[in-house]
């Protein structure tokens, strides 16, 4: 497909901009199929994803350990660009991946930690316990997930951490309206 030559490009020029239109180079991959067509690519993909789920616990443990390692570096060396970036990246990956791996509460806790790193005016002034509680929460959620009664506790724990974080960030950014706006803005992810 990528070897197909692009169609003729048409350019309309206006006062401040050009509008560039080319025939859809991907139109050949769009197939018209009858309503009765039984092929279900989404269902097939969901099954394939379920087939990977046996590996999710191990993947999640790796992600949680990466977060703890990043925090250990901060405890040892303090916050600098490198340690801050690594902690943020580890938390951000958990925020994005954990729900897919079956750990939605870990994603909530990791997102809360990301918000601290992004919006705290001075990371050195953040109470160390606040960051430590997030790291410990993610570890506990991953470690204890196999116990049936922990899902509710994990959910409550993550929401409480998020509440305390929001309270801290709202207060710490009371004179920084651009951060305050970002902190209070709703997420684009439904039901978050």
Partner 1 sequence: MYRVDFNKLRFLICDDNPHMRRILRTLLHSFGAREVYEAEDGATALEMYTHYVPDIVITDWSMPIFDGLELAQMIRQPESKGNPYAPIIMLTGHSEKRRVTVARDAGVTEFLAKPISAKGLYQRILNVVANPRPFIKTKTYFGPDRRRNTTNTYIGPERRGSGEVEVMQQPSLLEKARSSI
Window 133-152: residues binding partner 1 (CB under 8 A):
none
Exposed, middle or buried by CB within 10 Å (0-12, 13-18, 19+), for 168?
middle
What's the min distance (Å) between Cβ of 17 and partner 1? Answer: 4
C-alpha span between 69 and 71 (Å, rounded): 5
Residue 17 CB burial class (10 angstroms; 0-12, 13-18, ≥19): exposed
Instruction: Give the C-alpha separation, 20 to 12, whole Å.
Output: 6
CB of 39 to partner 1, least distance (A): 7
- CA-CA distance, 5 to 33, in Å (whole number)? 26
Instruction: Decide whether 9 or 125 has the Cβ nearer to partner 1.
Output: 9
Query: For residues 4-63, which are near partner 1 according to CB under 8 A?
Result: 6, 12-22, 24-35, 37, 39, 41-42, 44-49, 51-52, 59, 62-63
Give the whole-angstrom CA distance, residue 160 versus residue 41: 39
Q: Does 99 bind partner 1 (CB under 8 A)?
A: yes
- Residues in the site for partner 1, rule: CB under 8 A? 1-3, 6, 12-22, 24-35, 37, 39, 41-42, 44-49, 51-52, 59, 62-63, 88-89, 92-93, 95-101, 107, 111, 114, 182, 185-189, 192
């Amino acid at each position: 497909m990528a070897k197909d030559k692009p169609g003729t490009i048409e350019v309309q020029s206006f006062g401040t901009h050009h509008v560039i239109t080319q025939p859809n180079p991907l139109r050949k991959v769009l197939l018209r199929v009858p309503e009765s067509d039984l092929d279900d690519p989404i269902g097939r993909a969901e099954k394939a994803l379920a087939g990977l789920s046996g590996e999710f616990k191990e993947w999640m443990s790796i992600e949680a350990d990466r977060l703890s390692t990043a925090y250990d570096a901060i405890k040892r060396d303090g916050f600098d660009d490198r340690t801050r970036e690594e902690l943020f990246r580890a938390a951000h990956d958990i925020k994005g991946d954990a729900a897919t791996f079956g750990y939605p509460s870990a994603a909530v806790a990791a997102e809360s930690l990301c918000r601290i790193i992004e919006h705290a005016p001075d990371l050195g002034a953040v109470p160390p316990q606040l960051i430590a509680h997030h790291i410990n929460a993610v570890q506990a959620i991953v470690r204890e997930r196999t116990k049936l009664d922990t899902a509710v506790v994990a959910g409550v724990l993550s929401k409480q951490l998020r509440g305390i974080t929001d309270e801290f960030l709202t207060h710490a950014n009371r004179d920084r309206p651009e951060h305050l706006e970002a902190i209070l803005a709703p997420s684009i992810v439904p039901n978050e």
